[in-house]
């Protein structure tokens, strides 16, 4: 989420510009923990979100997030 915030800032945007995300999780049993952190970045109007469990992610990551932002 910090990386996403930085990428947005580098392009003159904030998390408020995010309109959609897809969260890829290695284990959906971690959903509550992920949701707590995710929610701390999108307090007022969270974007549309899809969440899916995947077999694996690059570099053995547990969570990956793709986002679409509109300026």
Q: How far from chain centre, in Å, is Cα 68?
A: 10
Summarize pLDDT for 7-44 with one digit per residue, the tens.
999 999 999 999 999 999 999 999 999 999 999 999 88
Summarize pLDDT for 36-55 with one digit per residue, the tens.
999 999 988 999 999 999 99
CATH of the domain at 57: 3.30.1330.40
Per the structure, the complete domain to which residue 19 belongs is given by 2-69
- Sequential DSSP letters for 10-63: HTT--GGGEEEEEEEES-GGGHHHHHHHHHHH--SSPPEEEEEE-S--GGG-SE
Whether 52 and 23 have beta carbons less than 8 Å apart is answered as yes
Q: How far apart are CA 63 and CA 32, in angstroms?
A: 13
Number of domains in the chain: 1
Its pTM stands at: 0.91
């Amino acid at each position: 989420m910090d990386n996403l915030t930085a990428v947005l800032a580098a392009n003159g945007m904030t998390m408020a510009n995010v309109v959609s995300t897809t969260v890829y999780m290695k284990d959906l049993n971690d959903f509550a923990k992920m949701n707590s952190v995710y929610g701390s970045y999108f307090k007022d109007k969270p974007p549309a979100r899809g969440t899916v469990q995947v077999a694996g992610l690059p570099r053995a990551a547990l969570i990956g997030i793709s986002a679409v932002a509109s300026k």
